[in-house]
Amino acid sequence: MSHSQHLTQMANDIGAFFRAQPHQDAVTGIANHLKSFWTPKMRAQLAEQVKHGDAGLDELPLEALQSLLQHPGDKPSQPPGGDAG
């Protein structure tokens, strides 16, 4: 599996995790995950794949990535609950 295929698979796995949530919550959750845990280089590589039409991303991760590209300065939002410590 190439590095680009691995990124696609990881993004699709993240999307599958959030799929049970309402649509916008899922997109936001995926975007938060990509922004919080992926390096800028990983996000840029995935965006480049999408730009060339060969990413193979599912609908939710694709929407999340597009949201990140449209709003690059947005900070990840905290999930409800947070640290009760």
For 3-58, what is each residue's pLDDT tens digit? 778 999 999 999 999 999 999 999 999 999 999 999 999 999 999 999 888 678 99
CA distance 62 to 70: 12
Say what the pLDDT of residue 66 is. 94
Contact yes or no for 67/26 (Cβ under 8 A) = no
* Cβ burial, residue 60 (10 Å; 0-12/13-18/19+): buried
Place of tokens 């990983």: 42
Q: Rounded distance, CA 37 to CA 35, Å?
A: 6
Burial of 42 (0-12, 13-18, 19+ CB in 10 A): middle
